[in-house]
């Protein structure tokens, strides 16, 4: 069946991408200036001891063997120990991944849904004041760097108005002095709002503008004209006839914007100190915690690849015209 | 090829300049862009007039006293310093002008690099559409689109330290050409079967000649929109990286200004230091987008408004 084959091909492509990501990190960490063991080895050690350490890290093997071992370790999620936490990287990241998904998933869904909704409204009312003002405002925010937008939110809503916490994910005082489950959930949501707005805004405006363009093109199609001529209500023509087809390019663009919003997630998590993978990547890089930084990048790339495949397959379901070969 | 391209552009210009002028958004974009271009050129002149203590990277105004409100040399705007000073007494306006110059350097050089690579690969991929060359290039494009490259840039700077501006530009070019490539490929695919290309082939023109003489001049204008997006995206990416503290510390870009402001925890105390760079990035990126979009509406007749 075509669909299964298509799915299979997408997964294979994802695996290839993953291999390329692994290869990049492997060579990146090999070109590192100086000996990777210089932090561990003491110049006073005898050559025999040095050779023993070298052997224990597998650095005396040929580069090809090292590469093979590296791939095996990455695929079995054996990502080494974090310098800072002195614990396996996998263990550190296992606690960070849910936080990242908690922020990233609703932001992507919200951005797509809101963008498509508003985009089709402004395309429908082309040349109205509403269209011009929303397009300009959308553009302005689309082009605003995420971190700038996020920091302004912090300044206005957290610092000046005091409505939201400035950073973090939980209120430690509340949690240590025993809070009920519902209080904890409300606390997390309270912390989530500002980062969520920032990350949603990052891709929402792009979605809206794209939906507008795509919808303007679709509205000129004959079948839309025909639907109108048949006397169907405006709402039905707009939502059931035009928007259905106009959504398709937006979904394609969503695929391309995933890697950008993963980057946006890193920035958002950093400025809000949201304890996710992106924030960990930032702190690990600042603290020169190579294994952890590499692990974070690996996980972020993995999330991107999986998200792209999921959206791609959803697209294949949405558009019956797509061919699976 | 260059000659053809120039004559193609001249025709495009003659035919479309009135249309471009008529588009409201495009004109706004041009006005904003010229404003920043003026600021970029004005930067060195300003430092020249005001003296070395106004230099964007190393300058400090030693006559300042500590501002009790910010607990540093950061003073709000005054006659001496039109945008105020930063925490070490350096002129914010001078830094802002320098950031404007750097934004142009970064944006334009990355866009040119991406345009060259994207066009070449797009032409090859489209001309030999369906062969292994096409698949190889398009699969590479798919793969590159899937790599989250802000995290990649962060990991790279984790290994080799803060990225020099030139290194950053090279890496960015490598990750920015895919959009242009796709647009050029799609157009080349439809052009390669046109009669005039066939007739060129029959008269014995080499593949190289057909691609660059006959196809390229017709497809390049179509990538304007992608290019304008690359310029904006590159400026934003540089500022993001600099803001996180992994940018080139010897270059006072807008992102770097905001990074210093945050690192000195002056974000909430000295808005005159924090707001100008952020607004600068937003406005310049918006201007490029507006211009690109208007150009797109001109070269892509499907988007044009029906009268």
Residues A88-103 pLDDT 10s: 888 888 888 888 888 8
- The pTM of the full predicted model, rounded to 2 decimals, is 0.85
Buried (b) or exposed (e) across A121-142, using 16+ Cβ within 10 A? bbbbeeeeeebeebbeebbbbb
Name which of A160, A281, A230, A31 is nearest B148 in CA terms: A281
User: Taking all residues of chain A, what is their mean pLDDT, rounded to a whole number?
Assistant: 81
Which of A140, A147, A155 is facing B268, going by the closest CB pair? A155
pLDDT tens readout for residues B238-280? 999 898 888 888 888 898 888 888 888 777 777 888 888 989 9
Residue A42 pLDDT class (50, 70, 90 cuts)? low
* pLDDT over 70, % of chain B: 96
Q: Considering only CB atoms, which chain B residues are within 8 Å of A296? A: 151
Indicate the range of A114-118, A258-262, A315-319, B283-287 predicted with least confidence: A315-319
CB A280 within 8 A of CB A100: no
* Predicted confidence (pLDDT) at residue A224 exceeds the cutoff of 60: yes
pLDDT tens for residues A146-184? 888 888 888 888 888 878 777 777 776 676 776 677 777
Note whether B167 contacts A: Cβ–Cβ < 8 A: no
Residue A43: band (very low, low, confident or very high) from pLDDT cuts 50, 70, 90? low
A4 CA: distance to closest CA in chain B (Å):
20
pLDDT band at B305; cut points 50, 70, 90? low
Q: Stretch B149-167: mean pLDDT, rounded?
A: 84
Residues of A in contact with B286 (CB under 8 A): 139-140, 143
Most confident of the following: A100-109, A214-223, B208-217? A100-109
- Which among A13, A139, A285 is the nearest to B289, CB-wise? A139
- Asked if pLDDT for residue A325 goes beyond 50, the answer is no
Confidence of residue B307 (pLDDT cuts 50, 70, 90): very low
Residue of chain B minimizing CA distance to A14: B143
Determine what percent of chain B falls in helix, strand and coil, rounding each to the nearest 5. 75, 0, 25
ipTM score of the complex? 0.82
User: What tens digit of pLDDT does each residue of B93-125 get?
Assistant: 888 888 899 999 999 999 999 999 999 999 999
Task: Give the single-character DSSP code of A81.
Answer: B
User: How does residue A37 score in pLDDT terms, banded at 50, 70 and 90?
Assistant: low
CA dist list (Å): B217 to A304, B187, B213: 36, 11, 7
Per-residue buried b or exposed e for B104-140, using 16+ beta carbons within 10 Å of the residue's own CB: bebbbbbbebbbebbbbbbbbbbbbbeeeebeebbee
Of B192, B230, B222, B228, the residue nearest B300 (C-alpha): B222
CB contact under 8 A, B149 and A263: yes
């Amino acid at each position: 069946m075509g669909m299964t084959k298509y799915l299979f091909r997408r997964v294979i492509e994802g695996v290839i991408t993953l291999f390329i990501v692994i290869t990049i990190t492997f060579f990146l960490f090999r070109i590192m200036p100086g000996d990777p063991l210089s932090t561990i080895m003491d110049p006073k050690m005898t050559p025999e001891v040095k050779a023993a350490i070298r052997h224990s890290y597998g650095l005396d093997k040929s580069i090809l063997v090292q590469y093979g071992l590296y791939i095996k370790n990455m695929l079995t999620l054996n990502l080494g120990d974090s310098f800072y936490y002195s614990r396996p990287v996998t263990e550190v990241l296992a606690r960070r991944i849910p936080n990242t998904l908690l922020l990233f998933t609703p932001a992507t869904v919200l951005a797509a849904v809101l963008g498509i909704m508003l985009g089709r409204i402004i395309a429908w009312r082309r040349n109205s004041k509403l269209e011009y003002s929303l397009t300009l405002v959308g553009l302005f925010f689309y082009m605003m760097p995420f971190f700038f937008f996020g920091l302004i939110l912090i300044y206005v809503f957290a610092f000046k108005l005091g409505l939201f916490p400035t950073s973090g994910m939980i209120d430690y005082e509340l949690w240590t002095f025993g809070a009920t489950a519902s209080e904890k959930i409300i606390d997390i949501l309270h912390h989530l709002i500002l980062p969520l707005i920032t990350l949603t805004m990052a891709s929402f405006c792009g979605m809206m503008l794209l939906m507008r363009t795509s919808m303007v093109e679709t509205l000129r199609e004959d079948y839309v004209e025909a639907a109108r001529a048949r006397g169907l209500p405006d709402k039905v023509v707009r939502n059931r006839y035009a928007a259905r087809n106009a959504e398709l390019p937006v979904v394609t663009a969503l695929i391309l914007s995933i890697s950008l919003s993963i980057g946006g997630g890193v920035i958002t998590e950093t400025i809000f100190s949201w304890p996710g993978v992106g924030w960990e990547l930032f702190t690990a890089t600042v603290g020169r915690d190579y294994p952890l930084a590499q692990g974070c990048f690996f996980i972020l790339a993995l999330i991107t690849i999986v998200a792209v495949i999921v959206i791609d397959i959803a697209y294949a379901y949405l558009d019956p015209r797509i061919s699976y070969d | 090829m260059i000659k053809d391209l120039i004559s193609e552009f001249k025709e495009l210009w003659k035919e479309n300049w009135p249309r471009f002028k008529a588009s409201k958004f495009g004109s706004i974009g041009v006005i904003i862009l010229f404003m920043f271009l003026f600021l970029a050129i004005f930067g060195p002149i300003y430092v020249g007039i005001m003296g070395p203590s106004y230099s964007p990277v190393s300058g400090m105004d030693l006559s300042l006293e500590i501002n009790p409100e910010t607990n540093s040399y950061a003073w709000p705007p005054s006659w001496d310093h039109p945008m105020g000073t930063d925490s070490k007494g350096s002129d914010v306006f001078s830094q802002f002008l320098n950031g404007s110059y750097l934004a142009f350097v970064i944006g334009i050089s990355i866009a040119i690099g991406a345009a060259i690579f994207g066009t070449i690969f797009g032409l090859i991929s489209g001309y030999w559409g369906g062969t292994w060359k096409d698949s190889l290039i398009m699969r590479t494009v798919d793969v590159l689109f899937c790599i989250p490259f802000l995290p990649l840039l962060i990991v790279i700077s984790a290994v080799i330290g803060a990225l020099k501006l030139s290194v950053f530009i090279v890496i960015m070019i490598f990750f920015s050409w895919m959009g242009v490539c796709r647009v050029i490929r799609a157009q080349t695919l439809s052009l390669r079967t046109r009669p005039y290309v066939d007739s060129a082939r029959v008269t014995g023109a080499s593949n190289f000649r057909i691609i660059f003489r006959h196809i390229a001049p017709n497809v390049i204008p179509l990538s304007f929109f992608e290019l304008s997006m690359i310029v904006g995206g590159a400026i934003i990416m540089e500022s993001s990286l600099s803001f996180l503290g992994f940018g080139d510390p010897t270059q006072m870009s807008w992102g770097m200004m905001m990074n210093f402001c945050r690192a000195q925890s002056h974000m909430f105390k000295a808005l005159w230091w924090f707001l100008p760079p952020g607004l600068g990035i937003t406005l310049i990126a918006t201007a490029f987008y507006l211009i690109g979009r208007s150009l797109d509406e001109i070269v892509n007749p499907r988007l044009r408004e029906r009268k």
